[in-house]
Structure 1
């Protein structure tokens, strides 16, 4: 939970991938807080008891959210969906502003990969930004399982990572009210 809040401030892409992993960890433990306690929280023996208690409460709140939102077996909690919505909005704003032409170039360089991934998704089409995160998360899972990744897929993921890194950079600036769009400068 401390890790999550730091990641959210510093790198929204890492935060979202981390939170998707947390959702999967919760599912892998059957949404059972006692199993999460023994398989995850108890491994942090070096943390003070108060922090382990806070960690347990955090997991309990996430379990409750997952149950209430009906994402027990699959899908993402609304708090994670909201991050995607914010990133999609920022993406639109950046693309619409000629001041961010380097960002637009990176986006249009990534777009053919996104289109190809969306075509392969069949009925499970997601937005462009979510498609990028789905690809990165899928690769993360493959790597954790020790599976081989083709050179073509590695190149595609490298491009998606570059694009999301730039988007994350702008998100952090926007989050800190440091991002200035052309329209903001015109009004000043």
Structure 2
């Protein structure tokens, strides 16, 4: 099974972030699939040759979508954004129905609101703020950067929101 498909089935938020990472990977390698195969895909040890080819094809399909949607320089494709919309819909439902989610969200809410203000209207979706925060943390870690404890606590609260949403999304998806 493809890594992307596995992530989509197991944790929708990880799938979204995987797409974001893949978009950045394609951009970083200037869309050169020979280099991507050599320096990235061939180092995924648990893949056989057929699976490596499938991973490359998935990335080629992603590139075609990025070109079609004109997000080769920046931004995110509809594969990811459609899923962000899906979990945002779930977020709104859970805010009105699920007391446990309300508690999790309430803890993150001040940090989300602060980041929404900082985004100055460019981002208006609180779930997008959480995803961007976690994705930003992953980018920092891949670059060997450290995060102070206050920032880590904020990002942990974002992660808690996304984890709860992913769990509930999987539950709903089963039914």
User: Does the C-alpha gap of structure 1 residues 10 and 60 become closer, same or farther in structure 2, counting only changes over 3 Å?
Assistant: same
What TM-score does the superposition give when structure 1 sets the normalisation length? 0.86
Residues 1:51 and 2:59 aligned together: no
Aligned-pair Cα RMSD in Å: 1.7
Deviation per residue, 1:141-178 (Å, 9 max, x gap): 1122122212110111111111211111101001111x
* Distance in 2 between residues matched to 1:116 and 1:46, nearest whole Å: 41
Gaps of at least 5 residues in structure 1 are 178-188
| Deviates most, 163-172 or 37-46 | 37-46
Tell whether the 8 Å contact from 2:105 to 2:161 is kept in structure 1 after alignment. yes
Tell whether the 8 Å contact from 2:134 to 2:155 is kept in structure 1 after alignment. yes
Which position in structure 1 is the counterpart of 2:19? 19
* Distance in 1 between residues matched to 2:66 and 2:15, nearest whole Å: 18
Which position in structure 1 is the counterpart of 2:140? 142
Deviation per residue, 1:73-98 (Å, 9 max, x gap): 1111101000100000001111122x
| Deviates most, 42-51 or 53-62 | 42-51
Q: Which has the larger radius of gyration?
A: 1
Deviation per residue, 1:63-120 (Å, 9 max, x gap): 11111110101111101000100000001111122xx111112112211110011112
Deviation per residue, 1:24-50 (Å, 9 max, x gap): 001111122222222223334764332
Gaps of at least 5 residues in structure 2 are none
Counterpart secondary structure, 2:105: helix
Tell whether the 8 Å contact from 2:20 to 2:76 is kept in structure 1 after alignment. yes
Offset of residue 123 of structure 1: 4.7
Matches within 5 A, 1:30-179: 30-44=30-44, 47-97=47-97, 100-177=98-175
Offset of residue 136 of structure 1: 0.8
What TM-score does the superposition give when structure 2 sets the normalisation length? 0.92
